[in-house]
């Protein structure tokens, strides 16, 4: 239950509650993405919301939950006649599991009826079940991209279109979309991130008293669930009633031109892409006005909406943390506020204003109330940007070391200046990096069967159909045509007399598809003294950052091993969070001797463990070194531990006299050799082309 949770115990939960309520008031807002560390009650509060939504009336027997007052004329179970029987039920809460198939999400041909009865029938999916309710996706960042595309399209259009296996169906799919994710496990692509209307960042409080209150209430619930629920029933009922009244009031909320221009000015100043931010902010501001009991949108409503709709749309690259410069927001709102609408009944003296009888104040004086202080209207509250740096909307992208990155034409020397302008960095002092550039496609040879991605060729459940085969174990993806062709010659001998096919297990054929997979890209970086010249290490970090960005775009897992001094270290265990890899790279110290053998042995250990954890994901080793080995261990023996591993050696050796050690190492590993200069030259060529066009 929402009312039972002490919101001060988790930073950002007040904003989360407001974001969920705004979507409950107006589904046009477009859903909520909840980002935060594990154990912060993200799932708890989302599941609790469904109980606060008003119950719905549906046509009896309709699998698509049609509203009897306004049934969908294209409903596959329709048409529904006026006066049909109806039932009243709670709003649905449908959970989409990470491993769901496309058929499970959108629906598909009812194969059983097609084969046994000879009729074409549609089996609805989870989008139909979630209509007029809540669709909850836990760990949405781990969901396959094509599934995220499908559900976000349905959420935006309010309609699900199914075109597959001779089935052509359209049905209504209007739901409150909520996704939760832990950024440490990987980010959503920017295109998908933008499709969520609002986003909220949550993290656990560090105050012992607040944390103790969470535990106290949890223990009280476990000791007596019914008694505990009864203690908060009044507050829960009041919250549900307020949501229902806000829904009714939303139809009459007016968005003045002055507030619309204010929204457009704010979105333009924050340099968000496209116009979706303007539309979402306007819808959220109207929902906030209805929630606060107002009939006209005010600057406070715009402020609350912007704080939730803009942070995730300001990211210029995958390594930027979501956030909002609230000082800039306040300045923009102040400059564009203008005079109040003279006809506004929600003004200070209006009947629906703060002093009037509207719903603007807290509900019942309990913890459910979302007045201006709780709803995130104040720029001084702890919000999404509380831990992000303050930067102007027009500032340049930030480099890995937190400094402004160089211009596109400057190349890797942008941070450190011309060669020789700075002395070598002291041992242990991190070097910076310049703007990342495009790198060539690095692939694992052969055909894999790993998780869907965009790097190496693979047999995949989602890709182009290349054929059919007998199932190996459980059937995955029926190839209908091949199954019918296998069964057709035997119908007479099997004694078929009716319209349906007579099938046997050996008739079944499954689809064979070929697509792309994501790989485990393990970076092994030489951070020793031989690499520690500041300009040189800057070029190395820029190269690794560029490869990290490529791994992000291709949906890979990444890991980072460094070696310096006397040993190697796993700086970043394999993870889907490329942001975490960039953060580790930011603080990577350099200096000391070069234990190359230790780095190779540590990489072999990491890959061995990952083969057990995720055997289907094929690894790609990217070794960044000049090939020197000045500390213990037999390099030849360590290299033997990596036999059979697809590898790339980035040769960082420079200067007029070169020993060719990295070249020999690449030959021993049977790895592709890429000189560091080749990577940066490709990046320069791409920048020159973009500049020319």
Which residues have a catalytic role annotated?
276
Using CA atoms, how far apart are residues 653 and 675, in angstroms rounded to an integer? 8
> Chain-centre distance of CA 561, in angstroms?
26
Distance, in Å, from the CA atom of 581 to the CA atom of 563, rounded to the nearest integer, reads 16
Q: Tell me phi and psi for residue 398, to 5 degrees.
A: -90, 140
Q: Tell me the two tokens of residue 147.
A: 């599934």
Q: What is the dihedral of CA 123, 129, 132, 137, to 10 degrees?
A: -130
How far is 351 from 347, CA to CA, in rounded Å? 8
Give 601: exposed, middle or buried? Use CB within 10 Å, 0-12, 13-18, 19+.
buried
User: What is the C-alpha to C-alpha distance for residues 522 and 374, in angstroms, rounded to an integer?
Assistant: 44
Residue pair 588/527 in contact (Cβ under 8 Å)? The answer is yes
Cα–Cα distance, 13 to 40 (Å, whole number): 9
**Residue of 387, 33, 304, 37 lying closest to 190 (CA atoms):** 33
Q: Is the Cβ–Cβ distance between 585 and 433 less than 8 Å?
A: yes
Which residue from 661, 685, 663 is spatially nearest to 672, judged by alpha carbons? 663
Which of 569, 568, 571 lies closest to 598 in space, CA to CA?
Answer: 568
| H-helix or E-strand spanning residue 609 | helix 596-613
Of the candidates 646, 622, 641, 643, the residue with the CA atom closest to the CA atom of residue 448: 646
Torsion angle defined by CA atoms of residues 684, 687, 688 and 691, in that order, rounded to the nearest 10 degrees: -160
Given a contact cutoff of 8 angstroms between Cβ atoms, the answer to whether 487 and 494 are in contact is no
Q: Which of 49, 53, 30, 26 is nearest to 297 (CA)?
A: 26
Is there a contact between 679 and 543 (Cβ–Cβ < 8 Å)?
A: yes
Q: Give just the sign of the alpha carbon dihedral 215, 217, 223, 225.
A: negative
**8 Å CB contact between 356 and 292:** no
Distance CA 512, CA 459 (A): 7
Biggest alpha carbon distance in the chain? 90
Which single residue is written with the structure tokens 């942001």?
579
Q: Using an 8 Å Cβ cutoff, are 64 and 124 in contact?
A: yes
Q: Before 79, cis peptide (omega within 30)?
A: yes
User: In terms of Cα–Cα distance, which of 540, 546, 539 is closest to 562?
Assistant: 540
Query: Is 32 in a helix, a strand, or coil?
Result: strand
Q: What is the DSSP letter of 177?
A: E
3-state helix, strand, coil in the chain (%, to 5): 40, 20, 45
Contact by Cβ (8 Å): 47, 93: yes
Which residues lie closer than 8 Å to 145 by C-beta, 6 or more apart?
Answer: 189, 192, 452, 555
Ranges of H-type helices in 72-139? 102-106, 111-116, 126-129
User: Is the CB of residue 545 less than 8 Å from the CB of residue 552?
Assistant: no
């Amino acid at each position: 239950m929402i009312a039972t949770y002490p919101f001060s115990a988790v930073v950002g939960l007040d904003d989360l509650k407001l974001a969920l309520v705004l979507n409950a008031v107006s589904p046009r807002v477009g859903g909520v993405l909840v980002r935060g560390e594990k154990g912060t009650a993200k799932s708890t509060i989302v599941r609790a919301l469904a109980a606060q939504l008003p119950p719905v009336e549906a046509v009896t027997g309709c699998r698509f939950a049609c509203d009897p007052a306004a049934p969908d004329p294209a409903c596959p179970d329709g048409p529904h006649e006026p006066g049909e029987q109806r039932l009243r039920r709670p709003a649905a809460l449908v959970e989409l599991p990470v491993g769901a198939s496309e058929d499970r999400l959108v629906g598909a041909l009812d194969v059983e009826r097609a084969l046994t009865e000879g009729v074409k029938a549609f089996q609805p999916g989870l989008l139909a079940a979630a209509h007029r309710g809540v669709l909850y996706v836990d760990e949405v960042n781990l969901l396959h991209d094509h599934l995220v595309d499908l559900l976000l399209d349905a959420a935006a259009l309010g309609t699900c279109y199914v075109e597959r296996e001779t089935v052509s169906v359209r049905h209504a799919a209007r739901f409150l979309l909520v996704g939760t994710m832990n950024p440490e496990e990987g980010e959503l692509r920017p295109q998908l991130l933008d499709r969520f209307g609002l986003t909220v960042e949550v993290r656990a409080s560090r105050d012992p008293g607040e944390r103790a209150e969470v535990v106290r209430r949890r223990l009280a619930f476990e000791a007596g669930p019914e008694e505990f629920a009864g203690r908060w029933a009044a507050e829960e009922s009041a919250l549900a009633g307020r949501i229902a009244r806000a829904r009714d009031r939303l139809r009459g909320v007016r968005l003045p031109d002055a507030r619309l221009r204010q929204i457009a000015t704010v979105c333009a100043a924050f340099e968000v892409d496209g116009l979706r931010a303007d539309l979402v902010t306007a819808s959220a501001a109207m929902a906030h006005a209805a929630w606060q009991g107002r009939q006209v949108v005010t600057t406070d409503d715009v402020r609350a909406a912007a704080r939730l709709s803009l942070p995730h749309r300001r990211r210029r690259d995958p390594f930027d943390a979501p956030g909002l410069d609230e000082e800039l927001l306040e300045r923009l709102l102040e400059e564009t506020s203008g005079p109040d609408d003279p006809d506004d009944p929600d003004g200070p003296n209006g009947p629906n204003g703060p002093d009037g009888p509207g719903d603007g104040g807290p509900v019942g004086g309990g913890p459910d109330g979302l007045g201006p202080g709780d709803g995130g209207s104040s720029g001084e509250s702890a919000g999404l940007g509380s831990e992000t740096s303050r930067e102007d909307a027009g500032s340049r992208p930030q480099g890995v070391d937190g400094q402004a990155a160089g211009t596109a034409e400057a190349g890797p020397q942008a941070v450190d200046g011309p060669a020789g302008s700075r002395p070598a960095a002291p041992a242990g002092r991190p070097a910076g990096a310049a703007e990342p550039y495009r790198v060539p496609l690095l692939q694992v040879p052969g055909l894999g069967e790993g998780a869907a991605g965009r790097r190496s060729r693979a047999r995949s459940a989602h890709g182009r159909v290349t054929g059919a085969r007998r199932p190996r174990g459980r059937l995955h993806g029926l190839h209908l045509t091949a199954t019918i062709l296998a069964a057709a010659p035997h119908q007479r001998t099997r004694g078929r007399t009716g319209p349906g096919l007579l099938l046997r297990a050996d008739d079944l054929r499954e689809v064979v598809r070929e697509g792309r997979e994501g790989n485990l890209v393990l970076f092994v970086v030489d951070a020793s003294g031989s690499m520690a010249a500041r300009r040189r290490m800057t070029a190395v970090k820029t190269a690794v950052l560029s490869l990290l960005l490529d791994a992000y775009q291709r949906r890979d897992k990444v890991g980072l091993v460094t070696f310096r001094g006397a040993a190697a270290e796993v700086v970043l265990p394999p993870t889907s969070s490329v942001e975490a890899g960039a953060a580790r790279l930011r603080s990577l110290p350099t200096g000391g001797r070069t234990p190359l053998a230790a780095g190779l042995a540590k990489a072999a250990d990491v890959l061995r463990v990952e083969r057990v954890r995720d055997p289907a994901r094929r690894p790609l080793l990217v070794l960044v070194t000049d090939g020197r080995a000045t500390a213990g261990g037999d390099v030849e023996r360590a290299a033997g531990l990596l036999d059979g591993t697809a590898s790339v050696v980035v040769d960082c050796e420079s200067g007029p006299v070169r020993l060719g050690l990295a070249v020999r190492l690449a030959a021993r590993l049977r790895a592709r050799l890429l000189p560091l200069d080749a990577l940066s030259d490709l990046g320069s060529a791409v920048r020159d082309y973009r500049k020319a066009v």
